[in-house]
Amino acid sequence: MNHRGKIKIDFEPLGKRGDCFTNNSILECAELTGLGINNICGGHGKCHKCKIQIMNEMRSEPTSAEKDIFSPEDLAAGWRLACQTFPDTDCKVHVPPESMTTSQRLQVEGLALSVPLQPNISTYDVTISPPTLANAQADADRLIQTINSQYNLNCDRIDSDVIKDLSHNLRLFNWKCNVSVYNNEIIAVTSSSNSLGFALDLGTTKLAGYLIDLTTGKTLASKGMENPQISHGEDIISRITRIIESPKEAHHLQKVIVKAINRLSLQLCKEINASISEIMESIIVGNTAMHHIILRLPIKQLAYSPYIPAINQSIDIKARELGLHFAQGSYVHFLPNIAGFVGSDHIAMLLSADIRKMDGLVLMLDIGTNTEVSLIDNGNITTVSCASGPAFEGGHIKDGMRAADGAIEHLQITDASVNYQTINGVTPIGICGSGIIDILAQLYDAGVVDKGGKIINSHPRVRKTQDQLEFVVVDEDERSGRTSITFTQKDIRELQLAKAAIRAGIQTLLNVTNHTEDEIQMVVLAGAFGTYIDISSAITIGMLPSLPFNRFKHIGNAAGIGAKLALISYDKCIESKNLPLNISYVELANNKNFLNLFVEALSLGNN
């Protein structure tokens, strides 16, 4: 074995790559890269705070410290201590949140739309006359009759699990209780007056959860968390592939995500001193693959052309059937999908924007590994899904990373110096999507990079490595001896491919609807990436159309907002179910002009 061989480590979920040597531990590699992994004992195998999971085959025998804390199954699954593991080959390492000191930015906020409160669930304060020999009606019948006559309702059934505990509970609560009703079905009988709703944006890398008071419509708590399925596949395609190769993985991945949702909702409930069993209703939105995984629907057909979902219609299912620990008879509603690569998160995004009231032509984008774009024309929606790839999340970019502490998110090149801004103002460790767009825009504006994306000009910060030119963003001196952070010619090519996919998708939408760019009255950018992107940089590189700035609007986590709206408004819930009827989905792979548009869109600039 080469004792000083150079290897590459991919740290997930931050998507940060680092160069290190075969005689470095993973902990040392992380430090060299600038990533923070807990190491209270200083790397002596004693504190067990540096747990990581190696995602690929690697020959490095576990030490006795590792054998002490990990079971053989854990070790076989790749669990190790970062300070005790010396990789001998390139590898991918998952750093779980509890081992990480560098945190990922998990956006949950968004622009809220105000709608009249009209939840699907109603909760009633009910007082029941106890049975007597003269009135020996069954407990369930008595409850239904009482609530119907007290509140003029038409309840006709009680959830089967609620019935099992009903006789005991009615007596325990001394015949006074709170009864939650969904669609004429009694779904909970409790002593608490809390009626909570849970909205979830179930993303491939992140979960954004919201706890709502269904009696006021107020958001009581919100929180983001990493999707733990990342340790089973960084992107959705690798998870689908894993399931296809080993069908029992489907069951495992479903359990992993359900456990995470239970944990997230429990944390949210704890913040307001409530119980998870007080969650009476929930709405989940996400991409089609995540939707299929949690519902244990077949997924193989999503991976192959023509990428067909098992179902697009909305689904209502008891929370317990999924393994969620919410109120006994509560339902989880999954909003409809649009296509194999356009899921209910896009429906929720459209819902959040109140498209019925939009005048003129509106373009809505949710930028990510897959970018969903809709063109809205007087209520008619045309949608495409652009394979923009991982560049905006730092993937395939030499020093790219996801948006997390230490990621350069914005920068300005002034003569020979670079002024940058990192997330949370900490020492830079890499560049996230918005920073990458800024760099390319400024290099193009300064004439360092030409329209074709080639580095053409000498600049004090451009240097030649063994195989390519690169622009030095942060040099070794500024990083106290760590390797410099650079933006390479290859990175530019990656970014060109990503932005061209989006721009060609936009142009296809305009072509099929017979519109021109100038007619677009508003461009709405959703999602975490859309929130932080610099519009002028995105226009400069030709990713977005060149329109006046006042026609652009950031709306934050619109998918989460849409899910919340469907939870508190019956009308919005119905609207979400009907939205697909107004959507024409255009499959880009099937569009004759798309390839030409894509090639044209590779150029930088905007004319």
Give the list of residues 6+ apart from residue 302 with CB closer than 8 angstroms, or none.
240, 288, 289, 292, 308, 309, 340
- Per-residue CA distances from 180 to 117, 120, 284, 332, 405 (Å): 16, 10, 20, 15, 43
Q: Which is nearer to ligand FES, 40 or 172 (CB)?
A: 40
Which residue type does 353 have?
A: A
C-alpha–C-alpha distance, residues 603 and 318, integer Å: 50
C-alpha–C-alpha distance, residues 607 and 601, integer Å: 10
Give the list of residues 6+ apart from residue 164 with CB closer than 8 angstroms, or none.
none
Q: Which is nearer to ligand FES, 36 or 389 (CB)?
A: 36
User: What residues does 103 pair with on adjacent strands?
Assistant: none
At residue 133, φ and ψ (nearest 5 deg) are -65, -30
CB of 459 to ligand FES, least distance (A): 41
And the tokens for 170?
């009615």
Q: Which is nearer to ligand FES, 82 or 299 (CB)?
A: 82
- Locate tokens 């932005």: which residue? 499
- Give the binding range for ligand FES (CB under 6 A) out of 80-88, 301-309, 363-371, 594-602: 80-88
Nearest C-alpha neighbor of 382 from the set 545, 588, 577, 538: 588
CB of 253 to ligand FES, least distance (A): 28
Nearest C-alpha neighbor of 497 from the set 389, 574, 405: 389
Q: Which is nearer to ligand FES, 31 or 139 (CB)?
A: 31
C-alpha–C-alpha distance, residues 571 and 564, integer Å: 13
CB of 423 to ligand FES, least distance (A): 25
Q: Which is nearer to ligand FES, 70 or 210 (CB)?
A: 70
| Region of 48 on the Ramachandran plot (φ > 0 left; ψ -120 to 50 alpha; else beta) | left
Q: Which is nearer to ligand FES, 39 or 120 (CB)?
A: 39
Residue ranges in 399-438 that form contacts with ligand FES under rule CB under 6 A: none
Q: Which is nearer to ligand FES, 49 or 300 (CB)?
A: 49
3-class secondary-structure state, position 437: helix
- Give the binding range for ligand FES (CB under 6 A) out of 33-41, 120-128, 254-262, 317-325: 33-41
Binding-residue pattern over the window 361 to 380 for ligand FES, x denoting contact by CB under 6 A: --------------------
CB of 22 to ligand FES, least distance (A): 19
Q: Which is nearer to ligand FES, 43 or 395 (CB)?
A: 43
Q: Which is nearer to ligand FES, 28 or 575 (CB)?
A: 28
- Give the binding range for ligand FES (CB under 6 A) out of 77-85, 238-246, 314-322, 567-575: 77-85
CB of 68 to ligand FES, least distance (A): 11
Largest separation between any pair of C-alpha atoms in the chain: 98
Q: Which is nearer to ligand FES, 28 or 491 (CB)?
A: 28
- Per-residue CA distances from 197 to 14, 331, 561 (Å): 31, 10, 13
Q: Which is nearer to ligand FES, 95 or 495 (CB)?
A: 95
User: What residues does 16 pair with on adjacent strands?
Assistant: 11
Q: Which is nearer to ligand FES, 45 or 323 (CB)?
A: 45
- Give the binding range for ligand FES (CB under 6 A) out of 34-42, 269-277, 481-489, 513-521: 34-42
Query: What does the CA dihedral 105, 106, 111, 117 come to, rounded to 10 degrees?
Result: -160
CB of 174 to ligand FES, least distance (A): 54
Q: Which is nearer to ligand FES, 50 or 567 (CB)?
A: 50
- Residue 200 binds ligand FES (CB under 6 A): no
8-state DSSP, 207 = E
CB of 84 to ligand FES, least distance (A): 6
CB of 262 to ligand FES, least distance (A): 29
CB of 20 to ligand FES, least distance (A): 16
Q: What is the CB neighbour count within 10 angstroms for residue 5?
A: 12
CB of 544 to ligand FES, least distance (A): 45
CB of 47 to ligand FES, least distance (A): 4
Tell me if 589 sits within 8 A of 496, measured CB to CB.
Answer: no
C-alpha–C-alpha distance, residues 216 and 175, integer Å: 26
Residues in contact with ligand FES, total (CB under 6 A)? 13
Among 7, 55, 81, 264, binds ligand FES (CB under 6 A): 81
Q: What's the count of helices (H) and strands (E) in the chain, helices before strands?
A: 17, 27
CB of 23 to ligand FES, least distance (A): 17
C-alpha–C-alpha distance, residues 436 and 253, integer Å: 32
- Give the binding range for ligand FES (CB under 6 A) out of 78-86, 153-161, 294-302, 570-578: 78-86
Q: Which is nearer to ligand FES, 26 or 55 (CB)?
A: 26
Long-range interactions of 411-416: CB distance < 8 A, separation 24+: 411/435, 411/438, 411/439, 411/442, 411/473, 412/438, 412/442, 413/439, 413/442, 413/443, 413/446, 413/461, 415/460, 416/459, 416/460, 416/461
Binding-residue pattern over the window 83 to 102 for ligand FES, x denoting contact by CB under 6 A: x-------------------
- Give the binding range for ligand FES (CB under 6 A) out of 35-43, 72-80, 212-220, 506-514: 35-43
Binding-residue pattern over the window 37 to 76 for ligand FES, x denoting contact by CB under 6 A: --xxx-x-xxxxxx--------------------------
Contact residues: ligand FES, CB under 6 A: 39-41, 43, 45-50, 81-83
